[in-house]
Structure 1
Amino acid sequence: MQKKLFMGLVMSLFCSLVVAQSNRAVKYFNKAREAVTLNEYKEAKEYLDKAIEDSPGYSDALLFAADLYRKEGNTDKALQYYETVLQNRGPYYTYLFYGQTLFAAGRYQEAIKALNAYQQSPQANPKYAGEIQQLIDNSSFAIQSQASPRPYNPENMGKDVNTDQMEYFPSISADGNTLVFTHRNMEGSKTDEDFWVTQRDSSGAPWSKAEPLRGFLNTELNEGAQAITSDGGIIYFAACERRDGFGSCDIYASFNQGDGTWSRPVNLGDSVNSRVWDSQPSISSDGRTLYFVRGRSSYDKDINIYYAELRADGRFGKAKPIPGKVNTSGQETSPFIHFDNQSLYFSSNGHPGMGDLDFFVSRRQPDGSWGEPENLGYPINTGGQEFSLIVAPDGKTGFFASDALEDGFGLLDLYSFELPEEVRAIEIAYIKGKVTNKKTGQSIATEINFTNIDSEEKILTERSGRSGNYFAVLPGNADYALNIQAEGYLFYSKNFSLATQTADRAFELNVELVPIEVGERVKLENV
């Protein structure tokens, strides 16, 4: 937000000042402007240095130089120029630029003071009042967060996963042992995004050497953010500028063909995709709700999280903005719906935070809406951009991408860390099995209901496919009843416990249904 506000004002004000300066200084200043139009920033700074040397109080040149240094991340140099302008009793709006740069430098108390000084000026532009107030709120939040830091110890995922290129946008299977991510090769004249995969035997075991996914998923075109379903059967992903696309970027699905390869992608259609930018999908653990982001472009200042629900015909319904308190007039990006289906993690610059994009979590409310987001805190969040966070099935292990940590192998690396207690999700467990005819062994496709025994609440309804196989993700540390009422078969009910079941191993429960015949009786195994 502050970058857009900063750039929107500064260029329009360079010619508005009436300050004594020599003709030679003005000539250098104009040459600097010409150099910028040619993207010759080094030359532009050299011309500005000459203009300032000739006329030390030349506010236009000082502000222009500060802007260029701010762009390249040299906040110390930019602040030096702003302070010179203020010492010379320069224009009132310098306080705005000064406050924004102080915030970027992490000098939050001074930023509040400078921004308030701008707001108190009778010449302050009311158009920017809301954005400036948000920057003040962010500064106050940053001060409070730094005073109460949360535990944080990120670990690089190692050279078997990360390369000297870019790794980002991870997703993970329900057992926590398969990690798919986007790998971007920046070498050559054309960059290439593909999906890679790494696996491990169990929680705590080392990750295997990452390799590209096999089949028809990766192409010569770019494959962007993706999400793998809990059972590893489908990958939803974003792809841009394809012939069958509806907008600039669309969401597609590719199916695991059972031999480790992936099918040709299928566009999810215009119920999900729009004529603009749709990207960064995340799929619920039951496979029935797709979350993603939508904006006019990836650079749009107003990007929101949408969702679409799976219909009975196997297609997703019309996408809608998620209800509740998550979406703002700013950017909400990289959503991740945890396996507990109650915790939504995302990045945002529209809620009070440390900087450009912070990590947040929102909890599902009883009415299905999403509650007030909680910032994951400092030092997890910084003054930079935090994005592409996912959380493992255990509810406490996070994975994310960063280029800001010192132990990186390349341009962007994947890291893991343990989330603070306050922002963890519910640990889950998963159950799988096969439903068959007890007498013939024939597979049965049917509806399966799971009920929490203690609360007597029906938690989930799943279906076994034509193969008879089923897969379900349930909150861990609880006891359940599995119930099946299939046409032509006796009612089936069985209790089972996930109290000690961990997420990295499946609880297996095969079901044999008894055909209804004269003399057969229902056997209730949970009574």
Structure 2
Amino acid sequence: MKNNLLLGLLFWLWMPSVSFAQAPKEPQIILSKRIQTDTAAHRTAPKPEVAIDFPNVNKIPFYEDRKKLRAIEKLERRHNWQKALPLLAEYVKNFGVENFYKTTPLLWRLAQLYERVGDEDRAKAYYRLVLKHHRQDIRKIQLYYDSLEAKNKTLYVPLKHYYELVEYRKSINTFHPPRGIYLNMGQEVNSKYEDYAPILSPNNDRLIFSSKRVRRKGMNSTANEDLFYSEYNGISWEEAKPFAKPINSVYNEGSACMSKDGQTLYFTRCECPDCHGNCDLFMAKKLKDGSWGNIRNLGPNVNSKAWDSHPSLSKNEDTLYFASDRLGGFGMSDIYFTYKLKNGQWAPAQNMGPIINTRDSEVSPFFHPLYQVLYFSSRGQLLNNGDFDIYKTYRVNGRWQEPRNIGPLVNGKGSEYYFTIDSNSRNLYYARSEENDLKNLDLFSFPLPMEAHPLAVTKVEGTLVDSASHKPLSGIISIIDLDHGVEVASKYLREDGSFDFDLIDNNRYMMIIQSPDFFSIEKEFDLKQDTIFKIMTSVIDYSIPLIFKNIEFDEGKARIKSNMEGILDRIIYFLVDHPTFGLKIEGHTDNTGDPNLNLDLSQKRADAIKKYIMDKGKIPEDRIEAWGYGSSMPLKEEKTKEDQQINRRVEFKIIQPKTPPGQVPNQGGN
């Protein structure tokens, strides 16, 4: 049932009117708030978050001022929170890298102070820093953070259940179901050995990646890591070929990125004579004959005595992001950056700071070719689904925002690395491993899901409540991009009935909310800016039959009329969404005419409705009962034509399974 979004603050979701035996109110969707954000055709970044700066991170290793600490502690002992807070905030601002694991409790104390004064956003920001950088038992801190974050917690529907929902609705939906995920790029690209680190040429017609398929000769047959490429012929990717010398050598090469003009290649080379450490970043120039040459090390300002790899250029090509496990970082490996000086040389590399980096590992950065969005892989960020997950972070007003997990349609229970998007933001490419087999990396590619899209920054949020009690309802909410078919992972409603999604503005969407407690809700809407909905619907009372006014047959006829179809379709949607539920249809007539003919007519009408529901919804016959009772069960004594009209009815009874399924099963995970 697709309706257009009505202009104004109030609009209604069409549902059949119900009367007599059970009369739930029509589901009502109130557009409670629209937040004007900007006038651009597309928003390219979310609204700014709480600003937290640590200017000393790349200047000093550790900050301490015992006199200031004693003054702060004295104020805290006196419960003088208002004076202690700004002093502690200023103290923490001076942190160097080592403070984040040596004096983590100060971050926790600051978070608690912000919570005490009611600044929940800043409290959560500092609690997140503690959770990312702690090196002790933090269960208590997790409880503090969870209590604040409960209203914003993301509850993804497990993928198996997500695709069951899609499969159920294939027979009745007019929009296309979501497309497959985790699509392996096949044997033309992948080998039986590790294949990873994909990048695309500027025209998206060449895929460059790293592979360990070449084995060195000898008893151990160790891998020789090399760069390979595959050409796109307009239909598929062709068989991969290795780069020629001097790019590939007797040393290990991999993890590349390319300039927009295709003339400069940045890549990693390991254990070579001119390497400063284990692995270094190099650059090469394309020569007039199409080959590569002029290979040179990026130098000590960029490379360290440790491992340096995974280069990615900013969209203006004036900043280079990479991963390194050099000493002085936050964790096992961090994301660093360097920028070009006026003389064309690279400046000394800097750590990206404690918002991006954690006590664990961050690797494989990828800067989007058009927008200020950085993708990277981490196993130390919050909301991890597996070993390594892929996150995105936006640069807003010169600051990197809190990284966002790009969701279960990309991140599985194994590991995901080396995320790359084509220049049109249509398809993603990355390397992933299965759970419990982290070394067997293959390259995957599929259409870009909404959570991973760089332009998915317009927020849609709302709550669903019972229209009678105003208590929150539980269920599953799905969003379908009707314009582009971009997938949006389904979520459970939170305990307070709330939900939120980050979507792309100026697109058309379908909202679907499913639950055994109420008839499925569908609404089509055009998204222009950040939007808040309040949705109210009626809970089904399974002990009382449903009687719909519009289910009225022509006199003496059993033909389904067109004005009945909308109501019957709603019943179909419910049965499709809840495959363990059944339906009983009861036909009734008034007492005029021959009772036997009335009995036969009521049965024919019930059978006609049953056939419509079975045919359109592809519902198995054993889930639907159809009974005709003629005039044997009147609701009223027939004294007037109105009384006769009341008795001429069709009743619907939803039959629950013997053990009703939980309303919100298996929350979280995938």
User: So what's the TM-score if we normalise by structure 1?
Assistant: 0.51
- The one of 224, 228, 248 equivalent to 2:254 is 224
- The one of 398, 405, 408 equivalent to 1:375 is 405
Q: Distance in 1 between matches of 2:266 and 2:421?
A: 18
Are 1:362 and 1:373, in contact at CA under 8 Å, matched by a contact in 2?
Answer: yes
Q: Does 1:189 align with 2:197?
A: no
Alignment gaps of 5+ in structure 1? 1-125, 428-476, 478-527
Are 2:201 and 2:262, in contact at CA under 8 Å, matched by a contact in 1?
Answer: yes
Q: Distance in 2 between matches of 1:357 and 1:394?
A: 26
Q: Does 1:303 align with 2:314?
A: no
Q: Does 1:420 align with 2:449?
A: yes
Note the C-alpha offset of 1:320.
1.1
Equivalent positions of 1:142-181 (< 5 A) are: 144-146=155-157, 153-181=181-209
Provide, for residues 360-400 of structure 1, a one-character-per-residue CA deviation record: whole Å limited to 9, x for no partner: 0111112x221111101114212322111111111131101
Equivalent position amino acid for 2:361 in 1: Q
Given the superposition, is the C-alpha separation of residues 372 and 244 from structure 1 closer, same or farther in structure 2, using an over 3 Å criterion?
Answer: same
Q: Distance in 2 between matches of 1:355 and 1:136?
A: 24
Are 2:415 and 2:434, in contact at CA under 8 Å, matched by a contact in 1?
Answer: no
User: Corresponding residue for 2:419?
Assistant: 389
Q: Distance in 2 between matches of 1:175 and 1:223?
A: 23
User: Corresponding residue for 2:14?
Assistant: none
Q: Does 1:347 align with 2:377?
A: yes
Q: Distance in 2 between matches of 1:404 and 1:422?
A: 21
Equivalent position amino acid for 1:292 in 2: F
Q: Distance in 2 between matches of 1:262 and 1:320?
A: 29
Given the superposition, is the C-alpha separation of residues 395 and 136 from structure 1 closer, same or farther in structure 2, using an over 3 Å criterion?
Answer: farther
- The one of 199, 202, 223 equivalent to 2:231 is 199
Q: Does the residue aligned with 1:279 lie in a helix, a strand or coil?
A: strand
Provide, for residues 222-252 of structure 1, a one-character-per-residue CA deviation record: whole Å limited to 9, x for no partner: 1131112222211111222222222222111
User: Corresponding residue for 1:88?
Assistant: none
| Superposition CA RMSD, Å | 3.5
Are 1:167 and 1:414, in contact at CA under 8 Å, matched by a contact in 2?
Answer: yes
Q: Distance in 1 between matches of 2:361 and 2:262?
A: 30
Equivalent positions of 1:213-252 (< 5 A) are: 213-252=243-282
Higher relative contact order (CA 8 A, sep 6+): 2
Note the C-alpha offset of 1:292.
0.2
Q: Distance in 1 between matches of 2:366 and 2:140?
A: 29
Q: Does the residue aligned with 2:451 lie in a helix, a strand or coil?
A: helix
Q: Distance in 2 between matches of 1:381 and 1:127?
A: 26
Are 1:323 and 1:369, in contact at CA under 8 Å, matched by a contact in 2?
Answer: no
Note the C-alpha offset of 1:133.
6.4
Q: Distance in 2 between matches of 1:257 and 1:235?
A: 12
User: Corresponding residue for 2:359?
Assistant: 329
User: Corresponding residue for 1:95?
Assistant: none
Are 2:191 and 2:213, in contact at CA under 8 Å, matched by a contact in 1?
Answer: no
Provide, for residues 252-281 of structure 1, a one-character-per-residue CA deviation record: whole Å limited to 9, x for no partner: 111111323211521000111122221111
Q: Does the residue aligned with 2:248 lie in a helix, a strand or coil?
A: coil
Q: Does the residue aligned with 2:155 lie in a helix, a strand or coil?
A: helix
Given the superposition, is the C-alpha separation of residues 388 and 395 from structure 1 closer, same or farther in structure 2, using an over 3 Å criterion?
Answer: same
Are 1:284 and 1:341, in contact at CA under 8 Å, matched by a contact in 2?
Answer: no
Q: Distance in 2 between matches of 1:335 and 1:163?
A: 24
Note the C-alpha offset of 1:307.
0.9
Q: Distance in 1 between matches of 2:378 and 2:202?
A: 26
Q: Distance in 1 between matches of 2:144 and 2:230?
A: 43
Note the C-alpha offset of 1:154.
2.6
Identity of aligned residues (%): 32
Given the superposition, is the C-alpha separation of residues 227 and 142 from structure 1 closer, same or farther in structure 2, using an over 3 Å criterion?
Answer: farther
Count of matched residue positions in the alignment of Structure 1 and Structure 2: 297
Are 1:182 and 1:224, in contact at CA under 8 Å, matched by a contact in 2?
Answer: yes
Are 1:176 and 1:392, in contact at CA under 8 Å, matched by a contact in 2?
Answer: yes
Equivalent position amino acid for 2:385 in 1: M
Q: Does the residue aligned with 1:389 lie in a helix, a strand or coil?
A: strand
Q: Tell me which structure has the larger Cα radius of gyration.
A: 2
Q: Does 1:357 align with 2:388?
A: yes
Provide, for residues 195-241 of structure 1, a one-character-per-residue CA deviation record: whole Å limited to 9, x for no partner: 01112245xx3222211112311001111311122222111112222
Q: Distance in 2 between matches of 1:182 and 1:266?
A: 19
User: Corresponding residue for 1:266?
Assistant: 296
User: Corresponding residue for 1:29?
Assistant: none
User: Corresponding residue for 2:605?
Assistant: none
Note the C-alpha offset of 1:162.
1.5
- The one of 312, 317, 330 equivalent to 1:282 is 312
Note the C-alpha offset of 1:134.
6.6
Q: Distance in 1 between matches of 2:158 and 2:188?
A: 37
Q: Does 1:253 align with 2:283?
A: yes
Are 1:323 and 1:370, in contact at CA under 8 Å, matched by a contact in 2?
Answer: no
Given the superposition, is the C-alpha separation of residues 154 and 365 from structure 1 closer, same or farther in structure 2, using an over 3 Å criterion?
Answer: same
Alignment gaps of 5+ in structure 2? 1-133, 164-177, 457-505, 507-670
User: Corresponding residue for 1:484?
Assistant: none
Given the superposition, is the C-alpha separation of residues 322 and 300 from structure 1 closer, same or farther in structure 2, using an over 3 Å criterion?
Answer: closer
Equivalent position amino acid for 1:383 in 2: K
Q: Distance in 1 between matches of 2:280 and 2:244?
A: 22
